[in-house]
Amino acid sequence: MTLNDQIDKLMLAYQNGDDAVLDQIYMMLRQPLYSFIYRYSRDEQLSIDIVQDTFIKLQRHKHDYNPDKGKLKSYLFQIAYRLMVTKLNRRKKWRNLLPFLTPSEAEDFHHSDRIVVRDAVTKLPGIQRAVIILFYYHDVPQRDIATILEIPKGTVKSRLHAAIQKLKQELEVEDYE
């Protein structure tokens, strides 16, 4: 039984009234959700808020999840992605109205290599960034990425290809194919 199957089994128990298993689900999915949001936004507080809001939404609408439609992990990634996009758009609107609310950049410059990779990923356009993060760091199948980001599977493929080409260019990686 894979980890995702275990999580789905716990979710089934949660839907059937065993509230104690929610903590286990949280412990198993907190890390992937946080790292997905963080790699996308590079905002620690926003990532924490989104993970917490995702679990609030799961608790409020626990019967909305249907295991026949996909894994719980993908379902929560979809909720988190929607919440993050809404929050980032709202934040962008406020910053256009009140530009002085824009936070100052506070980055650590201790690991130059890591920063190059971070910057290269951050520079990617939104959808390409989300696709490469889900595909490479979270092993999400392309079909599930399409569901999470609400785009056609063909778009996932093209965005993934474009993201890889851009990353190669940014990171000056030679093509060894």
Partner 1 sequence: MSKDPLKNNHHLQKKLDEYHVNIPDFPMKPNRWERLINLLASPTRDPLEPFLSTSGGLLLLKLAPIMGAAIIAIIQMLIFL
Q: If binding is defined by CB under 8 A, does position 158 make contact with partner 1?
A: no
Q: If binding is defined by CB under 8 A, does position 34 make contact with partner 1?
A: yes
29: CB partners within 8 A, 6+ apart: 7, 72, 73, 76
Helix (H) or strand (E) holding 88: helix 72-97
Q: If binding is defined by CB under 8 A, does position 24 make contact with partner 1?
A: no
Q: If binding is defined by CB under 8 A, does position 5 make contact with partner 1?
A: no
Binding to partner 1, residues 66-95 (CB under 8 A): none
For residue 67, the minimal CB distance to partner 1 (Å) is 20
For residue 6, the minimal CB distance to partner 1 (Å) is 19
Q: If binding is defined by CB under 8 A, does position 104 make contact with partner 1?
A: yes
Sign of CA dihedral 129, 119, 33, 64: negative
Burial class (CB in 10 A: 0-12, 13-18, 19+), 12: middle
* Closer of 15 and 35 to partner 1 (Cβ): 35
Q: If binding is defined by CB under 8 A, does position 12 make contact with partner 1?
A: no
Q: Which of 5, 18, 19, 44 binds partner 1 (CB under 8 A)?
A: 44
Q: If binding is defined by CB under 8 A, does position 100 make contact with partner 1?
A: yes
Q: Residue 55: how many CB atoms within 10 A of its CB?
A: 19
Q: If binding is defined by CB under 8 A, does position 97 make contact with partner 1?
A: no
C-alpha span between 103 and 10 (Å, rounded): 40
